[in-house]
Copies of this chain bind each other. A is one copy, B any other.
Amino acid sequence: MGRRLADSSTRARLAAPDEGIGADELALATRNHGLPLEALRYDVTPPGLHYVLTHYDIPYVASNAPWQLKIGGRVRRRLRLDVPTLRAFAQVTTRVTLECAGNGRALLSPRPVSQPWLVEAVGTADWTGVPLKLLLAEAGVESDAVDVVFTGADHGVERGVEQDYQRALPVDVAMGCESEVLVAYEMNGAPLPPQHGYPIRLIVPGWYGMAHVKWLREITVIDQRFTGFQQAVNYRMRQDSGEAGEPVTRIVPRALLVPPGFPDFMSRSRVVRPGRVPLEGRAWSGKAPLARVEVSTDAGHSWHDAELDPDQGRRWAWRRWCFHWTATPGDYLLSARATDADGNTQPLDQPWNRGGFAVNLVQRVPVLCLEADE
């Protein structure tokens, strides 16, 4: 009697109180990786420092191997497009800040057992590709279209369900009613790295990472709501496992600091010397344009407006902010808080959900300011 697939797959669970990170979470943390926070200094994240989250394996695709994107379902003309054909369409480049929907998960209590992000699952890149609406227009979407399903080449099992990674967008979102959705073939002016979806991926500016399907091989227009695992089971905001829950969609506001001074290797706490300590960081929101960033140097008791760099028309990219702090000897907790034009902001006390999604608790950076002579 062989064991069945469903028996071998890990169920969703919550960590016990004070349960440390387990071997399974560690195995995810060592292969997926975040942005080292000092790299928030770059407008565009250098290759290799952008966060990466892969559900299954990174598919092996040899350089310039043939690749076909199929477009089908409720369309008038089925299409099969190779990469040179995609490159022949009108080309758009957009700077986009991408964040994992699970960013901040490991800060929750109880902790949902999954990829254990702290705050660093973010990055910004210039993505170049063809607007999805041009491809859908070429195929001719039928009037009864409801959802557009995107299928990647990554294959695995999750909570007992064997699957290709699949996600859908409502047809109006796919057509660009919120932001220009791209079928992208370049990241920062070069072919996509393997871990970012080589040769092609979806880019949905403003949405969490789960929507940006990598290693894209099929687009299927359907006349009903998509009920695949990553849409109806995963990526839902729930208190209890029995609930249908609300779908995770657009990125809630967040500000992060470039940690000032220098770190202790093990604790990552920061050390500065007395005097002017320039603070800077990045802030973003996928919900509405960013309106304000505030800084606190006293663990969130008082807040001061930071100076925001102009957005330069880059609605979907993070914005730099800065603040001048004069440090005197002592212990500090530094924080920054972003608020968008719709009034969405970051909590000091994080509401909990059992998937650990859309967590945007205010970051707290412990800093020791030494005596002047030390």
Which of B10, B48, B114, B268 contacts A27 (CB under 8 A)? B268
Contact B39 A58 (CB under 8 A): yes
Contact B30 A31 (CB under 8 A): no
Contact A156 B265 (CB under 8 A): yes
Cβ contacts under 8 Å, A369 to chain B: 2
Known A-B contacts A57-B263, A368-B8; the reply to A21 vs B31 at CB < 8 A is no
Cβ contacts under 8 Å, A56 to chain B: 262-263, 265
**Alpha-carbon gap, A148 to B271, bound state (A):** 30
With CB as the reference atom, state the residue of chain B lying closest to A366. B8
Chain A 263-274 per-residue mask, 1 if CB under 8 angstroms from chain B, else 0: 111111101000
Contact B266 A114 (CB under 8 A): yes
Cβ contacts under 8 Å, A146 to chain B: none
Report the minimal beta-carbon distance from A246 to chain B, rounded to whole angstroms: 22
Query: How many A residues face the partner with a CB closer than 8 A?
Result: 74
**Alpha-carbon gap, A212 to B89, bound state (A):** 45
* A69 adjacent to chain B (CB < 8 Å): no
Contact A262 B27 (CB under 8 A): no
Tell me the A217-270 residues at the B interface (CB within 8 Å).
259, 262-269
* A306 adjacent to chain B (CB < 8 Å): no
Contact B118 A26 (CB under 8 A): yes
Contact A29 B29 (CB under 8 A): yes
Which of B8, B20, B55 contacts A271 (CB under 8 A)? B8
Which of B5, B29, B60, B269 contacts A26 (CB under 8 A)? B29
Tell me the A191-213 residues at the B interface (CB within 8 Å).
193-196
* A33 adjacent to chain B (CB < 8 Å): yes
Report the minimal beta-carbon distance from A64 to chain B, rounded to whole angstroms: 14
Which of B106, B114, B195 contacts A48 (CB under 8 A)? B195
Chain A 10-35 per-residue mask, 1 if CB under 8 angstroms from chain B, else 0: 10000000011110111111111110
Contact A158 B265 (CB under 8 A): yes
With CB as the reference atom, state the residue of chain B lying closest to A121. B30
Known A-B contacts A20-B22, A38-B58, A39-B194; the reply to A157 vs B263 at CB < 8 A is yes
Cβ contacts under 8 Å, A32 to chain B: 33
* A81 adjacent to chain B (CB < 8 Å): no
**Alpha-carbon gap, A356 to B106, bound state (A):** 25
Contact B29 A30 (CB under 8 A): yes
Contact B157 A271 (CB under 8 A): yes
**Alpha-carbon gap, A39 to B198, bound state (A):** 13
Contact B106 A26 (CB under 8 A): yes
* A170 adjacent to chain B (CB < 8 Å): no
Which of B37, B57, B114, B329 contacts A31 (CB under 8 A)? B37
* A108 adjacent to chain B (CB < 8 Å): no
Report the minimal beta-carbon distance from A263 to chain B, rounded to whole angstroms: 5
**Alpha-carbon gap, A60 to B258, bound state (A):** 11
Report the minimal beta-carbon distance from A240 to chain B, rounded to whole angstroms: 20
A9, A25, A155, most chain B CB atoms within 10 A: A9
A19, A20, A30, A159, most chain B CB atoms within 10 A: A30
* A178 adjacent to chain B (CB < 8 Å): no
* A291 adjacent to chain B (CB < 8 Å): no
* A184 adjacent to chain B (CB < 8 Å): no
**Alpha-carbon gap, A211 to B38, bound state (A):** 23
- Taking Cβ atoms with an 8 Å cutoff, the residues of A that contact B are 2-5, 8-10, 19-22, 24-34, 36-39, 41, 46-50, 52, 54-58, 60, 106, 113-114, 116-118, 120, 155-159, 162, 193-196, 259, 262-269, 271, 329-331, 368-371, 374
